[in-house]
Structure 1
Amino acid sequence: MSDDARLRRLELTVRRRVDGTVHGDHQGLSLGTGSDPEELVRYQPGHDVRRIDWNATARAGEPYVWLTRAEHALETWVLVDRSPSMAFGTTDREKADVATWTAAAIGLLTTGAGDRVGLGVVGTEGIRWTPPGAGRTTARRVLRADPGPRDGVPTTDLAAALRVFAAQAPRCGLRVVISDLLDQPATDSARLPWEPALRRLSARHEVIVVEVLDPRELDLPDVGDVVFVDPESGAQRVVGTSDRALRTAYAAGAAAHRAATATAVRAAGADHLVLRTDDDLGRELTRFIHRRHRTPARSARRTR
């Protein structure tokens, strides 16, 4: 089955309540126009008489009505990391290709009544924002977007990008972060540098973190001497990959970093999807969405 066919059969559900002014299909934070009863109150002039609860009215001897919870359109924002570290891949695609495909897929999956999807692309020159639009429109935009420079030092690191991301669209909704989660290591804290910003983002929004990896970032093959180049600084180093102790230490370090990353995302209250450049992307996304359907909603932590 093709990726397009898989996506047409999926729905990206949202399990937390959202803000908004446009009527849609998602539960809101306040009472208003909706379909699900939320609160039984004494009838007041102006209430919808069609929502009178006749059993409660008979018991109380005066009319009572059900108020409903407002249903809003969902506003989704996707932050796509296109920094030089994403321009790497040892299969038939690079990490940046996986990020682009995933962002487009999110747009195609977010197509409810009135739903809109906005886009932020992090590159060497900062963040380029695309205002919210229909999901399919945003999917086309991300597929056609200029990929940007493949090397150079980014002016905005991931932690700063997440802080700007939170301020860009404060209305409660769905936020998706697509990145390899590689950032400058913290020097004065055991936390990963982007963890506090992710925690603040998750406190207000439902957040999905899509971590993009390449197999060669997890272990080194035995291919002799290799010149490694940092695309962001241009620094080079010759590494003898035939050294078994070096390969073992590298694999252990990579596994420890992956474990720390998973722990940080989970502690922040975000959902975590790992995609590799050698994955069947449609299948992995399908599995992730099915797991979300079976997972109970977390209690929403709200900040004002």
Structure 2
Amino acid sequence: MTANPFRSLDIGLRRRLDGLVPGDHEGTRLGVGSEREEVVRYQPGDDVRRIDWNITARSTELHVWRPRADNQLDTWVVLDLSPSMAFGTVTGEKRDLAAQVVWAMGELTEAPGNRMGFAVLSPDGITWSRPDRARFAARRCARLLDTIHHREGSSTPPLGDALDEFGRRYRRAGLRIVVSDFLDPDGRSDEPFDWQRPLRHMAARHDVIAVEVTDPREGDLPDVGSVVLVDPESGRQRHVWTSDRDLRLRYRAAAAERRDNVRRAIVSTGAEHLTVDTGRDWIRDLASFLRTRRRTLRTAGRAGHRPHRS
């Protein structure tokens, strides 16, 4: 891993992030703001500067527009740096990609009054940070990665426990981002997962984005003959003959089933699901996700309710 994972994010990537709704957080209730929300009949005390003259002329009664609230956004990130995240077969490890995603989220939520805090889950336990300006907090999170070193067979507190504690600590409504590979240390591949219940509780109060970090080799075993596979969580080793076609097919099917189960479990909690992969253009995946999310939030705001709630 490089001394600073953001050095790989050159000016070209920064330009690609420009325009991805930086600092854009639309409120869902009426209040002080600048964007029009609805037009109503004038009442004594209403701001005469907000008279809608077009509707007033058509209805012959004074009408004023009410603004949508411009809310300050509190973002908290749970970053899973368990040993399984120290794996990568393309351009870097999953933990490197996770750090870049956190950096991007810091850039995108940067705006006056917005803050970001984070909790890092690692073999050392849970490390909590104080909230700060989103951009500064994301960079501080990246520097923390250089202090975390995995030992073979080292264990990490369950993600579910971290989310439980996280929910008890920070209850003010805002944006919550969980960045993890969602791999169970015990190898569990079907529901219920230990993180489902606390993630559901979190999504009932906050806007939650679950970012699943993957690597191509986790879904497809290559034909490279005899290899020794090491479980990063337990340190157990196993010799595998990868030239066995039936073995590769069973591996691929099991991996696909696990990912489908994780996706369904995340969606069932009411959280939004974003997948980034070390072998894909994660900026493009993030851009597509944010464009879809922006349209969904605007539609839900006009309907008068919050999206993605179960």
When the two structures are superposed, what TM-score results if normalisation uses the length of structure 2? 0.80
Structure 2 CA distance for aligned equivalents of residues 94 and 82 of structure 1: 11
Q: Which runs of 5+ in 2 are unaligned?
A: 1-10
For 1:197, the equivalent position in structure 2 comes to: 198
Partner in structure 1 of residue 27 of structure 2: 27
Deviation at 1:166, TM superposition (A): 2.0
Classify 1:64/1:283 alpha carbon distance in 2 versus 1 (closer, same or farther; 3 Å).
Answer: closer
* CA-CA distance at 1:167 after TM superposition: 2.3
**Which aligned segments of 4 or more residues in structure 1 are displaced greater than 4 angstroms?**
37-45, 47-55, 63-69, 184-187
CA contact (8 A) 1:41 1:67 kept: no
Name the residue aligned to 2:233.
Answer: 232
Query: What residue number does 2:3 align with?
Result: none
**Equivalent AA in structure 2 for residue 134 of structure 1:** R
| Alpha-carbon offset, residue 67 of structure 1 | 6.0
**Could you list the per-position Cα deviations for residues 173-218 of structure 1 after superposition, in whole angstroms to 9, with x for gaps in the alignment?**
111111101124698x842221112111111111111111111100
Q: Do the aligned residues in 2 keep the contact of 1:83 with 1:122 (CA within 8 Å)?
A: yes
Question: Residues of 1 paired with 2:246 and 2:160: CA distance?
Answer: 33
CA deviations 1:20-50 (Å, max 9, x no partner) are xxxxx64155x542344569588577x6565
- Percent identical across equivalent pairs? 43
CA contact (8 A) 1:204 1:301 kept: no
Q: Which residue of 2 aligns with 1:22?
A: none
Query: AA paired with 2:19?
Result: R
1:300 maps to 2:306: yes
Describe how 1:59-208 pairs up with structure 2 within 5 A. 68=67, 70-147=69-146, 148-151=148-151, 152-184=153-185, 190-208=191-209
- State whether residues 123 and 155 of structure 2, in contact with CA within 8 Å, keep that contact through their aligned partners in structure 1: yes
Q: Residue in 1 aligned with 2:13?
A: 3
- Report if the CA contact (8 A) 1:214-1:276 is conserved: yes
Give the superposition deviation at 1:69: 5.0
Greater CA drift, 240-249 or 67-76: 67-76
Q: CA deviation at 1:12?
A: 5.2
Count of aligned pairs: 287
1:94-118 Cα offsets, whole Å, 9 max, x none, are: 0000000100110011122311111
Identify if the C-alpha distance between structure 1 residues 202 and 224 changes in structure 2 by more than 3 Å, giving closer, same or farther: same
The 3-state SS of whatever aligns with 1:131 is coil
Contact 1:85 1:232 in 2 (8 A): yes
Give the whole-Å Cα distance in 2 for the aligned partners of 1:292 and 1:192: 25
Is 1:260 aligned to 2:261, yes or no? yes
CA distance in 1, matches of 2:73, 2:44: 31
Partner AA of 1:71 in structure 2: D
The CA deviation at 1:290 is 2.1
Q: Distance in 2 between matches of 1:37 and 1:196?
A: 35
User: Between Structure 1 and Structure 2, which shows a larger proportion of helix residues?
Assistant: 2
- Residues 190 and 93 (structure 1), Cα distance of their counterparts in 2 relative to 1, 3 Å cut: closer
Contact 2:225 2:243 in 1 (8 A): yes
Question: More deviation in 272-281 or 151-160?
Answer: 151-160
